[in-house]
A = this chain, B = another copy of it.
Amino acid sequence: MNATMVTEFAKRDWETAADGTVRFALIGLGWWTVDIVIPAIEQADYCETAVLVSSSTEKAQRLADRHDVDRGITYDEYHDGAASDAYDAVYIGTPNAYHLEYVETAAELDKAVLCEKPLEATAERAEQLVDAAADGDIPLMTAYRMHTEPAVRRAKELIEDGFIGEPTQVYGNNTQPLLEMIPDPDQWRLDSDVTGYGTSVMDLGIYPINTARFLLERDPVQAEARMSSTHEAFDDVPDQFATITLTLEDDVPLVCTTSQHAQEDTELKIIGTDGLIELSPAFHGEATLHLSSGSVEATIEDTDFTEVEEMREEFDYFADRVLGDEPILPDGRHGLDDLRTIEAIHEAAERDEPVDI
């Protein structure tokens, strides 16, 4: 472990010689879009924000004015094709159950789509979404920002180079105090009609599940899980807490704990026969990579790399793919796979027995 490992850390090894700019319509103006996505696009090399889309003209236009964006339109206007000459791609940052309708319209309008994860509220709807994009022949990426996070990409490179030997066990944790972050018991993440199967696996568990898949290039084949909700705000969702054991291909176990009502903590640890790679913190900016092999240990910290930079990398990756007409790794089918896994997790918890994926 030497200086080269650190200096190579932030390399955009995916970047092609693509040239140009992708102009975005941002759909759904919650705090993530406003506070993270808009600044990320401002920092990006190949992106610009052209249109904001929200529930009312007033809100869309007010935020457009504030952030120096040309147009603010309503969801209905978007569906009617308003301002469609002004943008090339849409970013969908709405609650889960509304993703499908925006993708269907994007397919009609021939726009590329960067869609937030989970891809939809259920695997069935996610499949319709993927089919709509395929029918319209539009590029579709699921917004897994861990795929372009330099610490994660560095970890993947190390694993491919044999640093940990054969992976033996994986642990992921993603917990947060949702009601302290958003003190509203009626928020959409606690409404099963909008969030889908539940809250902590859909919103948090998806990070360790997808990042482990990405790092190890192994998909889950079986799920076991237990979950419970005790706080009254979680009456409508089964998984205030969840504890999951997935079996990845080659019989590698991935254990995950998730909660929307606990101290914030994120960790992903991959143990192997010859070494260990740990991201701690892992999933909300400032990912720090801890490495050990035999008696050698190292920590690679990049505290300047926040969620804004993660999203900048993700948007530039997406734009690079679209401009160069290159294949997208976390595509729609990749996002659909995770919803099938999450469906199996919920089924396993309900039936209290292992469920094949």
The chain A residues found within 8 Å of chain B, CB to CB, are 164-165, 168-169, 171, 173, 175, 177, 224, 226, 228, 241, 243, 245, 247, 251, 253, 255, 257, 259, 261-265, 267, 269, 271-276, 292-294, 352-354
Q: Which of B255, B259, B272, B276 contacts A271 (CB 8 A)?
A: B259
Q: Is the CB of B168 within 8 A of A171?
A: no
Q: Could you tell me the distance in whole angstroms from the C-beta of A257 to the nearest C-beta in chain B?
A: 4
Q: Which of B169, B175, B261 contacts A241 (CB 8 A)?
A: B169
Instruction: Determine the distance from Cα of A265 to Cα of B272 in the docked complex, in whole angstroms.
Output: 10
Q: Could you tell me the distance in whole angstroms from the C-beta of A5 to the nearest C-beta in chain B?
A: 18
Q: Is the CB of A273 within 8 A of B269?
A: no
Instruction: Determine the distance from Cα of A243 to Cα of B171 in the docked complex, in whole angstroms.
Output: 10
Q: A243-B253, A292-B265 are in contact. Are A175 and B171 (CB under 8 A)?
A: no
Copies in the complex: 2
Instruction: Determine the distance from Cα of A267 to Cα of B292 in the docked complex, in whole angstroms.
Output: 14
Q: Could you tell me the distance in whole angstroms from the C-beta of A209 to the nearest C-beta in chain B?
A: 15
Summarize A's interface: helix, strand, loop or mixed: strand
Instruction: Determine the distance from Cα of A262 to Cα of B352 in the docked complex, in whole angstroms.
Output: 30
Which B residues are CB-close (under 8 A) to A263?
A: 164-165, 271-276, 292-294
Extra pairs beyond A169-B241, A243-B245, A263-B275 (9, CB < 8 Å): A169-B259, A171-B257, A243-B255, A255-B257, A257-B271, A262-B272, A263-B271, A263-B272, A263-B292
25 A-B pairs with C-beta separation under 8 A: A168-B175, A168-B259, A168-B262, A169-B257, A169-B259, A171-B173, A171-B255, A173-B271, A226-B245, A226-B247, A228-B251, A241-B253, A243-B245, A243-B253, A255-B255, A261-B273, A262-B273, A263-B274, A263-B276, A263-B292, A263-B293, A265-B269, A265-B271, A352-B354, A353-B353
